[in-house]
Amino acid sequence: MNDATASRQEGWKDKPPPEKAWRGRQGRTRKAIIAEQDRAAGSREERYVKRKDGEYALGSITLKVLPSTRRIRAYLRWSEGGRSPALYVGEVGHPTRAANLDQAWKIAKDRGMVGKRPVPEDSWASSSATRSVMRGNRGRDTAPELRIRSLLHQQGLRYRVSTRPLPGVRRTADLVFSRARVAVFVDGCFWHGCPDHCRPARTNSDFWRTKIDGNRARDAQTDRFLADAGWRAIRIWEHEDPVRAARRVAAAVRGFAGQDITASHDSGGR
C-alpha cells in the first residue's frame, strides 16, 4: 500500500468510505459494466485468469468494504466449473471507484494473477487480440442480418433462418425462401473480400489472402450449385443499406417485374 492510499484509509477510520469509492452506479447495463472493467485493466486482453484446468477465463474486479476495518478490498472473480471463485487482490484507498479499479488491476497484473492468453501453437491468429476479434465474428444473427430480417418480416414475408437450401449440399444460407427458391447470404466485408472495405492484413498476409480468396471461390461455387438446382442466390454486403437490400430480396421472392433481382457482390446497394 502506498502512502497516499494509507492516508486515505486513515481518514476512513471513523466512518465508512464513500460509496462512490467502491460501489458501481445502479442501473448500469451489462455493456457498461464490461467497458468499465476493460478500461481499468487496460484492455480486454489483459483480463484473463488461468483456471485449474489450464483454460483461460475472463476476470473481473469486485470492490467490497470490510465492515470491521472500513477499508476497501479488491477481489478477482471469474467463472469456473459453474462457480465464481473470488481471489483476494489487495486493499485500495482512492476516493473514486475508477481509480480503485485501476489500482486493483495493476496489483493483479503485477502479481501475475491476470494477463493475456497465450496464442495456441496451432492457431492461425498472429496474436491473442487478433484471435479474439476473429472468434467474435458471429456466423449468424449479425446486426445487418437481423435488420434485413426485420424489414422483410414487416412486409409479410416469411423465411427460414440459417438453413441449407439444397439437401445433401453443406452450404448454409442466412435466409431461405423455399417456395420462391431464393437463398439470401449477408456476407461480412472482411471474410468475403469486399472490394470497398476489406484491407490486406499486416501480419500473416499470405494466410489471410489465401483464406479470403478461398471464401470467395466457395461463394461462387455455392451460387453455381443453387443456379443448377433452379434457385436464385442473392448476396448482400454487410455495409449495404438494409432497406435497399430488403427491397431487392422482396422483389426476388415476389417476382416483381422490372426489378433488378440478379444483383450480387459485383453490384447493388453500395
CA proximity to 74, closest of 95, 96, 59, 89:
89
Helices (H), ranges, the chain: 3-11, 30-41, 97-110, 128-135, 143-154, 205-228, 242-254
- State whether 147 and 249 are in the same domain: yes
Q: What is the pLDDT of residues 144-182, one digit of tens each?
A: 899 999 999 999 999 999 999 999 899 999 999 999 999
Instruction: Answer yes or no: is 125 within a domain.
Output: no
The position carrying cell 496489483 is 107
**Residue that is last in its domain, among 110, 125, 149:** 110
- State whether 156 and 192 are in the same domain: yes
Whether the per-residue pLDDT at 88 is higher than 50: the answer is: yes
How many whole angstroms from its chain centre is CA 182? 29
Please give the mean pLDDT across all residues of the chain. Answer: 83
Instruction: Answer yes or no: is 260 within a domain.
Output: no
Calpha distance 144→252 (Å, rounded): 19
* Residue 127 identity: S
Instruction: Answer yes or no: is 163 within a domain.
Output: yes
Q: Average pLDDT for residues 89-109, to the nearest whole number?
A: 95
- State whether 143 and 57 are in the same domain: no
- State whether 52 and 156 are in the same domain: no
- State whether 105 and 9 are in the same domain: yes
Instruction: Answer yes or no: is 22 within a domain.
Output: yes
Instruction: Answer yes or no: is 262 within a domain.
Output: no
- State whether 105 and 147 are in the same domain: no
- State whether 148 and 204 are in the same domain: yes
Instruction: Answer yes or no: is 266 within a domain.
Output: no
| Percent residues over pLDDT 70 in the chain | 80
CA distances from 74 to 97, 103, 267 (A): 11, 9, 55
Domain carrying residue 170: 137-254
Q: 3-state SS of the chain: helix, strand, coil percent to 5?
A: 35, 20, 45
Instruction: Answer yes or no: is 250 within a domain.
Output: yes
CA distances from 98 to 8, 43, 63, 93 (A): 16, 15, 11, 11
Whether the per-residue pLDDT at 67 is higher than 90: the answer is: no
Contact (CB, 8 A) for 255 and 262: no
Q: What is the pLDDT of residues 123-149, one digit of tens each?
A: 444 455 554 544 444 455 788 899 999
The pLDDT, as a whole number, for residue 40 is 95
CATH code at 194?
Answer: 3.40.960.10
Instruction: Answer yes or no: is 115 within a domain.
Output: no
Whether the per-residue pLDDT at 12 is higher than 80: the answer is: no
Number of domains in the chain: 2
| Percent residues over pLDDT 90 in the chain | 53
Q: Please give the grid coordinates belonging to residue 256.
A: 416483381
